[in-house]
């Protein structure tokens, strides 16, 4: 197996299925950084942190879900906004003031009412049919993410990620929203949101394509699945395309993982056992798999070790890098994070369509 190894320093790295690993490309925005990987978007500098950061944390406390929301939105965007043609910014238009609906504020995340005509949640007196019963004024839309794409310093497109709930609690009862009911809501809501953007902001004219995708939260407290993207609508001029999506995250190892991909589950067991033979004491391998339309698209593995010397942890890293060859699918993106005493010791990345790996170590 051919490999490219990069030895360097990494601290405080959030390791997830993110599209923010960096790459060389042909985009010509001013003050733009390059990305590590040709399949990812370059950021445009100076990077202006959105005032929505705190709002996102307040609305969805789970950092894994927030990461899946934004990185998943970037992944979906690649079909419509090529990574070698644009760079990205965040929340250029829909900032805190546009979205906030706390204390009766007039924001998009609020309910529809006379003094908030742009609210994207049903009004208090509006009857919403969940498909399993009718409820008045439910909160369906929980949060909203925005990614803006530029080329030659000109806006070329916008992607919006809607975080929606899977069930409504009312008067002590829970009503699960059926796929048909959710699709009806999302079709109306995405159209209303795009109309708002085009009327509210001069830069967002009818020639700017807009992708609206919906991530449905899994609110079952005992489920390991946090949720995933279920729907997208692409608005390009007067033309609109709608599509349902089946995205799912499962724990590795688990019976669900085995049921969804028995071959990869078998390969994982072999990988885990092979890694454990390097230093059998206190070496644990777990992870998470991302499935799209029933097929594994990404595998994230975490390897925990404790009390290892530099020489010992280096042996683990080298072994893990070699043992990744057991995973035969080239249609899966592989990321491995190796920890020693809960501190990152190495990151290993194997992109799509190759067996080559990139390795970053902390020593």
Q: Are the C-beta atoms of 232 and 211 separated by less than 8 Å?
A: yes
Q: Which of 27-36, 228-237, 288-297 has the lowest mean pLDDT?
A: 27-36
Tens of pLDDT, residue by residue over 128-174, are 999 999 999 999 999 999 999 999 899 999 999 999 999 999 888 99
Whether the predicted pLDDT of 248 surpasses 70: yes
Q: What is the pLDDT of residue 3?
A: 42
Q: How confident is the model at residue 17 (pLDDT cuts 50, 70, 90)?
A: very low
Tens of pLDDT, residue by residue over 342-359, are 999 999 999 999 999 999
Peptide bond connecting 46 to the previous residue in cis, omega within 30 degrees of 0: yes
Q: Are the C-beta atoms of 83 and 23 separated by less than 8 Å?
A: yes
Q: Where in the chain is the domain with CATH 3.30.300.190?
A: 250-361
Question: May I ask the CATH class of domain 53-245?
Answer: alpha beta
The CA distances from residue 201 to 41, 83, 194, 208, 240, in Å, are: 24, 25, 11, 11, 20
- CATH architecture of the domain 250-361 equals 2-Layer Sandwich (3.30)
Question: What residues have CB less than 8 Å from 180, skipping those under 6 apart?
Answer: 131
Q: What is the pLDDT of residue 102?
A: 75
Closest to 275 in 3D by CA, of 264, 259, 286, 261: 286
Tens of pLDDT, residue by residue over 256-267, are 999 999 999 999
Whether the predicted pLDDT of 12 surpasses 70: no
Which long-range contacts link 177-185 to residues 24+ away (Cβ below 8 Å)? 177/130, 177/131, 177/132, 177/140, 178/130, 178/131, 178/132, 179/230, 179/244, 180/131, 181/128, 181/129, 181/130, 181/131, 182/214, 182/216, 182/230, 182/231, 183/231, 183/244, 185/128, 185/140
Task: Give me 55's structure tokens.
Answer: 């709002």
Q: What is the pLDDT of residue 175?
A: 97
Q: Where in the chain is the domain with CATH 3.10.570.10?
A: 53-245
Whether the predicted pLDDT of 202 surpasses 80: yes
Going by the DSSP 8-state scheme, the letter that residue 160 receives in this structure is E
Q: What is the pLDDT of residue 132?
A: 97
Tens of pLDDT, residue by residue over 287-305, are 999 999 999 999 999 999 9
Question: What residues have CB less than 8 Å from 220, skipping those under 6 apart?
Answer: none
Q: What is the pLDDT of residue 221?
A: 83
């Amino acid at each position: 197996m051919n490999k490219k190894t990069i030895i360097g320093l990494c601290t405080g790295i959030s390791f997830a299925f993110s599209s923010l690993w960096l790459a060389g490309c042909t985009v010509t925005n001013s003050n733009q950084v390059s990305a590590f990987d040709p399949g990812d978007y370059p950021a445009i500098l100076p990077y202006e942190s959105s005032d929505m950061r705190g709002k996102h944390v307040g609305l969805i406390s789970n950092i894994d879900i927030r990461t899946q929301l934004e990185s998943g939105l970037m992944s979906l965007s690649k079909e419509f906004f090529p990574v070698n043609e644009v760079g990205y910014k965040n929340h250029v238009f829909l900032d805190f003031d546009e979205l906030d609906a706390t204390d009766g504020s007039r924001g998009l995340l609020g309910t529809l009412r006379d003094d908030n005509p742009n609210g994207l949640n049903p009004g208090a007196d509006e009857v919403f049919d969940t498909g399993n019963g009718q409820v008045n004024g439910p909160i369906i839309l929980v949060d909203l993410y925005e990614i803006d794409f530029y080329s030659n310093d000109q806006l070329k497109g916008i992607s919006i990620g809607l975080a929606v709930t899977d069930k409504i609690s009312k008067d002590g009862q829970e009503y699960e929203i059926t796929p048909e009911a959710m699709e009806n809501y999302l079709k109306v809501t995405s159209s209303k949101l795009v109309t708002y953007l085009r009327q509210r902001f001069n830069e967002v004219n009818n020639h700017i394509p807009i992708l609206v995708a919906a991530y449905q939260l899994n609110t079952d407290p005992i489920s390991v699945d946090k949720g995933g993207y279920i729907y997208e609508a692409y608005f390009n001029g007067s033309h609109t395309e709608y599509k349902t999506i089946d995205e799912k995250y499962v724990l590795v190892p688990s019976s669900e993982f085995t049921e969804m991909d028995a071959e990869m589950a078998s390969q994982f067991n072999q990988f885990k056992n092979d890694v454990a033979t390097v230093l059998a004491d206190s070496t644990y391998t777990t992870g998470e798999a991302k499935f799209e339309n029933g097929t594994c698209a990404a595998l994230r593995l975490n390897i925990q070790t404790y009390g290892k010397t530099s020489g010992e942890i280096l042996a683990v890293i080298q072994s893990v890098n070699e043992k990744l060859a057991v995973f035969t699918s080239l249609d899966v993106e592989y990321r491995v994070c190796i920890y020693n005493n809960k501190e990152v010791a190495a990151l290993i990345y194997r992109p799509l369509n190759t067996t080559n790996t990139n390795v970053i170590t902390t020593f």
